[in-house]
Protein backbone atom coordinates (compact mmCIF):
# COMPACT_ATOMS: atom_id res chain seq x y z
CA UNK A 1 0.00 0.00 0.00
CA UNK A 2 3.04 2.22 -0.34
CA UNK A 3 1.73 3.35 -3.73
CA UNK A 4 -1.55 4.42 -2.10
CA UNK A 5 0.30 6.52 0.47
CA UNK A 6 2.58 7.99 -2.21
CA UNK A 7 -0.38 8.92 -4.45
CA UNK A 8 -2.34 10.41 -1.55
CA UNK A 9 0.57 12.47 -0.16
CA UNK A 10 1.65 13.80 -3.57
CA UNK A 11 -1.94 14.64 -4.51
CA UNK A 12 -2.76 16.47 -1.29
CA UNK A 13 0.63 18.19 -1.23
CA UNK A 14 0.24 19.58 -4.75
CA UNK A 15 -3.34 20.65 -4.07
CA UNK A 16 -2.25 22.43 -0.89
CA UNK A 17 0.51 24.22 -2.82
CA UNK A 18 -1.84 25.19 -5.64
CA UNK A 19 -4.53 26.50 -3.27
CA UNK A 20 -2.33 28.31 -0.76
CA UNK A 21 0.62 29.52 -2.81
CA UNK A 22 0.08 29.37 -6.55
CA UNK A 23 -3.58 30.30 -7.05
CA UNK A 24 -3.99 32.99 -4.44
CA UNK A 25 -5.58 34.83 -6.23
CA UNK A 26 -6.89 32.33 -8.82
CA UNK A 27 -5.45 32.90 -12.28
CA UNK A 28 -4.31 31.17 -15.48
CA UNK A 29 -0.58 30.44 -15.62
CA UNK A 30 0.69 29.46 -19.09
CA UNK A 31 3.53 26.94 -18.70
CA UNK A 32 3.99 25.91 -22.34
CA UNK A 33 2.20 26.12 -25.67
CA UNK A 34 0.07 23.11 -24.67
CA UNK A 35 -0.11 23.27 -20.86
CA UNK A 36 -1.48 25.73 -18.28
CA UNK A 37 -1.98 25.75 -14.55
CA UNK A 38 -5.46 26.94 -13.63
CA UNK A 39 -7.79 26.45 -10.69
CA UNK A 40 -10.96 24.49 -11.22
CA UNK A 41 -13.52 22.80 -8.99
CA UNK A 42 -15.18 19.56 -10.09
CA UNK A 43 -18.37 18.86 -8.13
CA UNK A 44 -19.13 15.74 -10.16
CA UNK A 45 -17.09 12.80 -11.38
CA UNK A 46 -14.93 12.39 -14.49
CA UNK A 47 -15.35 15.18 -17.04
CA UNK A 48 -17.81 16.95 -14.69
CA UNK A 49 -20.51 14.28 -15.05
CA UNK A 50 -23.08 14.23 -12.24
CA UNK A 51 -22.22 17.82 -11.30
CA UNK A 52 -24.79 19.42 -9.06
CA UNK A 53 -24.81 21.83 -6.17
CA UNK A 54 -26.68 19.49 -3.83
CA UNK A 55 -25.09 19.31 -0.35
CA UNK A 56 -25.40 15.51 -0.21
CA UNK A 57 -23.52 14.92 -3.48
CA UNK A 58 -19.97 15.05 -2.02
CA UNK A 59 -20.98 12.51 0.64
CA UNK A 60 -22.67 10.26 -1.92
CA UNK A 61 -19.73 10.34 -4.35
CA UNK A 62 -17.25 9.83 -1.50
CA UNK A 63 -19.19 6.81 -0.25
CA UNK A 64 -19.22 5.35 -3.74
CA UNK A 65 -15.46 5.90 -4.14
CA UNK A 66 -14.72 4.30 -0.76
CA UNK A 67 -16.89 1.29 -1.67
CA UNK A 68 -15.00 0.79 -4.92
CA UNK A 69 -11.66 1.06 -3.10
CA UNK A 70 -12.82 -1.51 -0.52
CA UNK A 71 -13.77 -3.91 -3.32
CA UNK A 72 -10.41 -3.44 -5.00
CA UNK A 73 -8.59 -4.09 -1.73
CA UNK A 74 -10.45 -7.40 -1.34
CA UNK A 75 -9.56 -8.32 -4.93
CA UNK A 76 -5.90 -7.40 -4.31
CA UNK A 77 -5.75 -9.40 -1.07
CA UNK A 78 -7.07 -12.50 -2.83
CA UNK A 79 -4.72 -12.09 -5.78
CA UNK A 80 -1.46 -11.41 -3.91
CA UNK A 81 0.65 -10.30 -6.89
CA UNK A 82 2.90 -7.24 -6.39
CA UNK A 83 1.67 -5.54 -9.59
CA UNK A 84 -1.90 -5.97 -8.44
CA UNK A 85 -1.02 -4.33 -5.12
CA UNK A 86 0.69 -1.42 -6.90
CA UNK A 87 -2.28 -0.98 -9.27
CA UNK A 88 -4.82 -0.95 -6.47
CA UNK A 89 -2.54 1.32 -4.46
CA UNK A 90 -2.51 3.96 -7.19
CA UNK A 91 -6.28 3.73 -7.66
CA UNK A 92 -6.96 3.77 -3.92
CA UNK A 93 -4.56 6.61 -3.14
CA UNK A 94 -5.98 8.72 -5.97
CA UNK A 95 -9.55 7.99 -4.96
CA UNK A 96 -8.78 8.88 -1.33
CA UNK A 97 -7.14 12.13 -2.44
CA UNK A 98 -10.31 13.14 -4.26
CA UNK A 99 -12.48 12.01 -1.32
CA UNK A 100 -10.49 14.29 1.00
CA UNK A 101 -11.18 17.18 -1.39
CA UNK A 102 -14.90 16.44 -1.61
CA UNK A 103 -15.25 16.31 2.16
CA UNK A 104 -13.09 19.43 2.77
CA UNK A 105 -14.22 21.63 -0.12
CA UNK A 106 -17.39 20.02 -1.49
CA UNK A 107 -15.58 19.56 -4.82
CA UNK A 108 -12.34 18.16 -6.23
CA UNK A 109 -9.49 20.62 -6.83
CA UNK A 110 -8.28 20.48 -10.45
CA UNK A 111 -5.37 22.49 -11.82
CA UNK A 112 -3.62 20.69 -14.70
CA UNK A 113 -4.90 22.03 -18.03
CA UNK A 114 -3.62 20.48 -21.29
CA UNK A 115 -4.72 21.85 -24.64
CA UNK A 116 -3.98 21.58 -28.35
CA UNK A 117 -5.44 23.18 -31.48
CA UNK A 118 -7.99 25.14 -29.43
CA UNK A 119 -9.25 22.04 -27.57
CA UNK A 120 -8.80 21.87 -23.79
CA UNK A 121 -8.82 18.52 -22.05
CA UNK A 122 -10.86 18.86 -18.84
CA UNK A 123 -8.59 20.04 -16.02
CA UNK A 124 -7.43 17.31 -13.65
CA UNK A 125 -5.06 16.66 -10.74
CA UNK A 126 -2.47 14.13 -9.53
CA UNK A 127 -5.14 11.94 -7.94
CA UNK A 128 -6.82 11.55 -11.33
CA UNK A 129 -3.43 10.70 -12.86
CA UNK A 130 -2.78 8.06 -10.17
CA UNK A 131 -6.19 6.50 -10.83
CA UNK A 132 -5.46 6.44 -14.57
CA UNK A 133 -2.05 4.80 -14.05
CA UNK A 134 -3.56 2.22 -11.67
CA UNK A 135 -6.35 1.31 -14.09
CA UNK A 136 -3.86 1.07 -16.98
CA UNK A 137 -1.71 -1.27 -14.88
CA UNK A 138 -4.75 -3.40 -14.04
CA UNK A 139 -5.63 -3.67 -17.72
CA UNK A 140 -2.07 -4.65 -18.60
CA UNK A 141 -1.37 -7.17 -15.85
CA UNK A 142 -4.71 -7.88 -14.19
CA UNK A 143 -5.48 -11.17 -15.93
CA UNK A 144 -1.96 -12.42 -16.64
CA UNK A 145 -0.44 -15.35 -14.79
CA UNK A 146 2.98 -14.94 -13.24
CA UNK A 147 5.65 -17.53 -12.49
CA UNK A 148 4.12 -18.17 -9.05
CA UNK A 149 1.01 -19.57 -10.72
CA UNK A 150 -1.21 -16.77 -9.41
CA UNK A 151 -3.85 -15.59 -11.81
CA UNK A 152 -7.46 -14.88 -12.39
CA UNK A 153 -8.44 -17.75 -14.69
CA UNK A 154 -11.61 -19.52 -13.68
CA UNK A 155 -11.07 -23.33 -13.72
CA UNK A 156 -14.67 -23.83 -14.85
CA UNK A 157 -13.93 -21.97 -18.08
CA UNK A 158 -10.70 -23.85 -18.76
CA UNK A 159 -10.85 -26.64 -21.29
CA UNK A 160 -9.74 -29.98 -19.82
CA UNK A 161 -7.62 -32.32 -22.04
The length of the chain is: 161
| 128 among known catalytic residues | yes
User: 100 and 12 in contact (C-beta within 8 Å)?
Assistant: yes
Q: Which of 11, 101, 110, 113 is catalytic?
A: 110
User: 113 and 37 in contact (C-beta within 8 Å)?
Assistant: yes
User: 69 and 98 in contact (C-beta within 8 Å)?
Assistant: no
| 79 among known catalytic residues | no
Residues 115-139 as b or e (16 or more Cβ within 10 Å = b) = eeeeeeeebbbbbbbbbebbeebbe
Q: Which of 11, 101, 113, 128 is catalytic?
A: 128
**Catalytic annotation, residues:** 110, 128
Amino acid sequence: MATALLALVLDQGTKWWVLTELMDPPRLIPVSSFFNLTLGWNRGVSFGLLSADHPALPWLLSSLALSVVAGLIVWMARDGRPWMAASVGFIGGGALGNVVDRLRHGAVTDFLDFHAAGYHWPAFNLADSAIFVGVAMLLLVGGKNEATGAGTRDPVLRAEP
